[in-house]
Amino acid sequence: MDYFVIRGGQPLQGRVPISGAKNAALPILAASLLTPSELRLNNVPHLNDITTMIELLGALGGEVAVDESGSLCISALDLNSRRAPYELVKTMRASILVMGPLLARFGRAEVSFPGGCAIGSRPVDLHLKGFEAMGAQIDVRDGYIVATTEGGLRGCDFTFEMVTVGGTENLLMAAVLADGETILRNVAREPEITDLVRFLRAMGADISGDDTDTLVIRGVGSLNSCEYTVMPDRIEAGTYLVAAAATGGCITVEGADAEHLGLVLDKLRDAGVDVQVDGDAITADMLGKRPLSVDVITAPYPGFPTDMQAQFTALNLVADGVARITETIFENRLIHAQEMSRMGANITVDGHSVIIRGQEEISGAPVMASDLRASASLVIAGLAAKGETRVDRIYHIDRGYERIEEKLQSVGADIVRKMR
């Protein structure tokens, strides 16, 4: 099993290219099941989760090829299965997103209960209630969710009891081929959902309400071929900007979108970082100073993203002052605090919050990642620490960061991937 060895204490300096967004690419790949026409996707990141989704499309009978430019060419013309197998679904929660497209196009979908990061309960009941409102019958057999329709899905007026990104994406994809008009209320507003809307629209879907809490979808008979470029990964961009701040360095991320990073950039400025935006380039310069502590409360977009909470926890370890980080989305997303304590951090868990008393120095230590973003936070802590840090279970980080050690090496990090 791979692990990272990091020798920290050096400011990071340089430029980092930002990859396509994993959380946009995964639902877009699932949406390719909605049409028999060939699709071409650009800027798809090379990640373990993307590989799993491609394998899942193949298990259903889809064909995915990479052309000479690195783009994905996808055909779901001859799908021969409606069953997403446990062996693939158990490793990635986003696998549930094939349910909406399969149900909409074929009237049947069988998906194993999904797995993924151990960051708390993320039930799929809201997905299923939405499908039932559109006329689907739901059954659970042998660990599989079986959804069927007689005569196809019907448009409906559905309000989510709570904001859910996956639920919004699944019902949105199902509604584009449903009979009549669907109104989805209290939907998630993440940029990745807007990217999915734009992709579906490029295929001929009739959708309005982008960037609001209500989406109106008028079902169409079929969708067409298209070429589409996946948006940049705002979480990857934010992670490298925080790494610059934590190490007292200066990093420019290239190919990013500052509009997607609103509160993240605001919090970096609160920490004393000089943040400059020039088109699709964002520079975070700590000016050689120690960062200031910043409080964070996670919330659905446009609030502070839960996927950046752990990285700001790492930043606060070496900041001047006391900070409180409060997690409101996932109940188990503070597990990294215990690992950071191993590095000499003054960090205390208080219910759904962590309280961090920043120190001028933390020390390298062996630590273990528990999920994707916790992995990134431990890498940042290792880069800021004095001495050597070993980060185990980095298969988590490979699910969401493309070539992270190579990108960090390019800006001066002493980080090496090793194998037991």
Instruction: Tell me which residues are annotated as active site.
Output: 117
178 burial level (CB within 10 Å; 0-12, 13-18, 19+) = buried
DSSP bridge partners of 146: 110, 139
- Which tokens sit at 392? 């185990």
CA 112 to chain centroid? 21
- For residues 366 and 4, give the distance between their C-alpha atoms in angstroms, rounded to a whole number: 10
- Residue 95's Cβ-side half-sphere holds a number of Cα atoms within 13 Å equal to 34
For residue 122, how many other CB atoms are within 10 A of its CB?
16
